[in-house]
């Protein structure tokens, strides 16, 4: 079984810089002058492979710096993991990223989201912090594997636990409750770790920034992923559909499909 990968990070319709990074098993956008980055490849599913989306924040260059630093640290840790035949610990890496951003930040608001997909021996592990997402498409269904660390999601979960109806409040609902770079004086970071699962032929894994999910409904995303077209066309269609709206945010997509080699 092989993993077919296609990724695209796009600046969007009106943003002046791309604060996102897509990380594809060590490859990422190193030239920040370029607002776009694309990647295609095939990987053996038995070997260690790491994919991630980082969505930087802090405004302009700070967001770019934050996501780039996260990608650099991910590359260093992945290389070290492979060399030392270690276990890839995304939670530990996120903690290291958090420390690194605090040391380099010229603003307390500098930070980044992070969503990781770690694959080895057909097993998938997803770890995230912030609101960049991971989805699994299987048997004509699209399931979110990550958890949004937002005020809106916290309120929804609280209402669910209390058995009351969620009171919608647009004010600050998209504000992050967890992210890489949060000052230690505010709160301890707690990345979400999804239950590991085995990948099967026909499965598709989508990692993306909120530039995609803020604009496209889940049903629209599933419809595109279900099309009988090449992987690159699916990524292009997701991007094109997002850009039909006023897509003011950056848009980053990593799409991975498991197929018989």
212-230 confidence digits (pLDDT tens):
999 999 999 999 999 999 9
Query: 8 phi and psi, to 5 degrees?
Result: -150, 125
DSSP bridge pairs for 55:
20
- pLDDT(136) > 70: yes
Residue 14 pLDDT:
84
In the chain, count of helices (H) and strands (E)? 6, 13
Beta 20-24 vs 123-129: how paired, if at all? unpaired
- pLDDT(159) > 80: no
Name the pLDDT band for 254 (thresholds 50, 70, 90).
very high
pLDDT in tens, 47-96: 999 999 999 997 657 899 999 999 999 999 999 999 999 999 999 999 99
Mean pLDDT of 23-35: 95
Beta 111-112 vs 197-198: how paired, if at all? unpaired
Angle subtended at Cα 192 by Cα 187 and Cα 194, rounded to the nearest 5 degrees: 170
Average confidence score pLDDT of the chain? 90
pLDDT > 90: what percent of the chain? 77
Name the pLDDT band for 157 (thresholds 50, 70, 90).
low
CATH no. of 2-259: 3.60.40.10
| 218-225 and 231-244 helices, crossing angle to 10° | 150
Helix (H) or strand (E) holding 124: strand 123-129
User: Which tokens is 25 given?
Assistant: 């098993």
User: Which tokens is 164 given?
Assistant: 């009351």
Residue 183 pLDDT:
79
pLDDT in tens, 180-223: 998 777 778 999 999 999 999 999 999 999 999 999 999 999 99
Residue 217 contacts by C-beta under 8 Å, 6 or more apart in sequence? none
Q: Which of 38-52, 170-184, 234-248 has the least mean pLDDT?
A: 170-184
Extents of the domains making up the chain: 2-259
Residue 152 pLDDT:
74
Residue 27 pLDDT:
98
Reduce the DSSP state of residue 250 to 3 states and report it.
Answer: coil
Residue 232 pLDDT:
98
- pLDDT(261) > 80: no
Residue 252 pLDDT:
98
């Amino acid at each position: 079984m092989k993993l077919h990968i296609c990724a695209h990070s796009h600046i969007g319709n009106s943003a002046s810089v791309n604060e996102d990074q897509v990380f594809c098993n060590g490859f990422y956008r190193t030239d920040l002058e370029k607002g776009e980055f694309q990647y295609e490849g095939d990987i053996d599913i038995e070997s260690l492979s790491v994919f991630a989306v980082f969505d930087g924040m802090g405004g302009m260059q700070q967001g770019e710096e934050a996501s780039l630093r996260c990608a650099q640290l991910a590359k260093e840790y992945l290389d070290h993991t492979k060399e030392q035949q270690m276990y890839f610990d995304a939670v530990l890496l996120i903690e290291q990223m958090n420390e690194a951003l605090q040391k380099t930040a010229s603003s307390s608001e500098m930070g980044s989201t992070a969503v990781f997909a770690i694959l080895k021996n057909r097993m998938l592990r997803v770890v995230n912090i912030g609101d960049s997402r991971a989805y699994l498409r299987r048997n004509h269904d699209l399931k979110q594997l990550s958890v949004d660390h937002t005020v809106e999601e916290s309120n929804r979960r609280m209402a669910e636990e209390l058995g009351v109806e969620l009171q919608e409040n647009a004010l600050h609902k998209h504000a992050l409750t967890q992210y890489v770079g949060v000052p230690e004086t505010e709160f301890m970071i707690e990345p979400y770790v999804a239950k590991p699962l085995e990948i099967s032929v026909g499965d598709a894994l989508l990692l993306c920034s909120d530039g995609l999910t803020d604009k496209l409904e889940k049903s629209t995303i599933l419809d595109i992923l279900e099309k009988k077209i090449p992987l690159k066309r699916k990524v292009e269609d997701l991007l094109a559909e997002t850009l039909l709206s006023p897509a003011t945010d950056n848009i980053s997509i990593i799409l991975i499909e498991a197929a018989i080699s």
